[in-house]
Amino acid sequence: MNHDIYDDDYIRGILDSMKTIAMVGASPVNVRPSYFAFKYLAQRGYDMIPVNPGQVGKSLIGKPFVASLDDIDRAVDMIDIFRNSEAALPLVEQALKMTPRPKVIWMQLGVRNDDACALAENAGLKVVMNRCPKIEYGRLSSEISWMGVNSRTLSSKRAPVPTQGMRLSLHRVSVGGGDTAAADRAARLKDDKNNRS
């Protein structure tokens, strides 16, 4: 697999299917990128687990820190690595010892380790490197375009304005393809409501 360019459907498939995400390197400091990414994903309905040995005894938006992947008490779908590239290989080795194993290893922006990637893929896991799930979620759900950023997502239908706790559909039409089911369903509901008025 080419890890320099990811197909939108590959990223969308991961973000649509993940429920529990362990973020290694999460920080409770509210000006750190890991804090923003953790909070954003939690607000979109993901079950987030902060992993940072230096923060045990504290919590991040009400979720208690654990020291390592070994200390997680439930199944994890994805490991989000918010550490440097050198830390990725030992973290993947640790992740492969988990029961059940996670389905995805995601390395944050600036994090790339081809050895860790090969180890994970050879064990049947999906891998994303040098990407941020917060940014990818916002781009694929069209949410990021509300902030004036070109999301590369095209639609003639206006996306719903996000509300607290709302998990947006990632099935928006994009240059890489994808379903329009959510946008079409929303348009039909709006039309039905307008026709009843």
* Terminal C-alpha separation, the chain: 52
Around 88, how many Cα atoms within 13 Å sit in the side-chain half-sphere? 26
Which tokens sit at 155?
Answer: 């639609």
Domain boundaries, the chain: 8-134, 141-196
Predicted local confidence at residue 17, as pLDDT: 95
Predicted local confidence at residue 60, as pLDDT: 96
The 8-class DSSP code of residue 71 comes to G
The residues near 116 (Cβ < 8 Å, ≥ 6 apart) are 88, 89, 91, 92, 105, 107
Sort residue 38 into left (φ over 0), alpha (ψ -120 to 50) or beta.
alpha
Nearest by Cα to 138 from 177, 182, 168, 175: 168
Helices marked H in 44-132 — which ranges?
85-95, 114-122
The answer to whether residues 181 and 171 touch, using CB atoms and an 8 Å cutoff, is yes
Q: Which residues of the chain have pLDDT under 70?
A: 144-191, 193-194, 197
pLDDT in tens, 53-64: 999 999 999 999
The answer to whether residues 16 and 33 touch, using CB atoms and an 8 Å cutoff, is no
The 8-class DSSP code of residue 40 comes to H
H/E element holding 64?
A: strand 63-64
Which CATH class name applies to 8-134? alpha beta
pLDDT in tens, 88-132: 999 999 999 999 999 999 999 999 999 999 999 999 999 999 999
